[in-house]
Amino acid sequence: MRLATWNVNSVKARLPRLLEWLAGTEPDVVGLQETKVAAALFPAAEVEELGYEVAAHGDGRWNGVALLSRVGLEHVSLGFPGEPGYEGEPGEALLLDEPGLRKPEARAIGADCGGIRVWSLYAPNGRTPGSAHYAYKLEWYAALRGALAAELKARLALAAFGDFNVAPTDADVWDPAVFVGSTHVTPPERQALADLRALGLHDVVPAPMKGPHPFTYWDYRAGAFPKDQGMRIDLVYASQAVADRVRAAYVDREARKGHGPSDHAPVVVDLS
């Protein structure tokens, strides 16, 4: 069984690349993030032609997540209990005082696929430490921990993957000095990841394919990708029952190359 996660940075802009990648890589379950499309407008028909069922969660402007599966797609959850603004089903966004910060946001979708409970997650960016966006990020993570704790009590096999927008350690950024004072590396954000692992989830670290670093994100600017000035922020967190089945994991750098790529590369995990 092959799992994968990919922040596509607009599924419509990346659709030809996505379809080619699905046909060539043949993952059984894929989590997509930053789809930037309303659920009703997700290109499900094109993906379904390759044998996948599709569940999408998005509002059409930003954020957005999806799950693609060819091993079953049942008990779909849009968001999770405790998530800021969660109402149990899609609804009107709740506006906060600061412009541009909305609740709820389409950042999580879960489903049962091939005997595993999977979650495609797109964590808030946080923008700058001390901002309302940063506080929202930590609030979202606290709610995610509660939701996954409840799910782990009911299911042994669980995998939560996606763009976590946090680099777990200094080894997961190309130059720690560059990120001083920035989000993605602050102690509270890293503690949020540690709190998830404390539930019994394992960080499935992929092989980098090239070079020493399993980075998954490189800025479009300043030639960051060829210089390998990246970050590992696309993560796969697996329960013991899933982690025990991991036989291989890698960052698919080839998908980051060529014309019009996403700024993220897929992470692929093979299970026995």
Alpha helices by DSSP H, listed for 126-265, are 132-154, 187-197, 240-243
Q: Which residue has the tokens 């049962």?
A: 112
Is a pLDDT exceeding 50 seen at residue 92? no
Q: Which residues pair with 270 in a beta bridge?
A: 2, 248
Residues 6+ apart with CB under 8 A from 223: none
For residue 6, give the 3-state DSSP assignment.
Answer: strand
Under 8 Å between Cβ of 184 and 261 = no
pLDDT > 90: percent of the chain = 88
Is a pLDDT exceeding 80 seen at residue 38? yes
- In the CATH hierarchy, which fold is given to the domain comprising 2-271? Deoxyribonuclease I; Chain A (3.60.10)
Q: How many CA atoms lie within 13 A of 139 on its CB side?
A: 15
Q: Which residue has the tokens 């409970």?
A: 117
Under 8 Å between Cβ of 126 and 163 = no
User: Over the stretch 95-128, which tens digit does the pLDDT of each residue have?
Assistant: 343 444 445 799 999 999 999 999 999 999 999 9
pTM, two decimals, is: 0.93
Q: Which residues pair with 260 in a beta bridge?
A: none
User: Over the stretch 182-214, which tens digit does the pLDDT of each residue have?
Assistant: 999 999 999 999 999 999 999 999 999 988 999
Under 8 Å between Cβ of 72 and 137 = no
User: Over the stretch 152-173, which tens digit does the pLDDT of each residue have?
Assistant: 999 999 999 999 999 999 999 9
DSSP annotation of 20: H
Give the helix/strand (H/E) hosting 67: strand 65-69
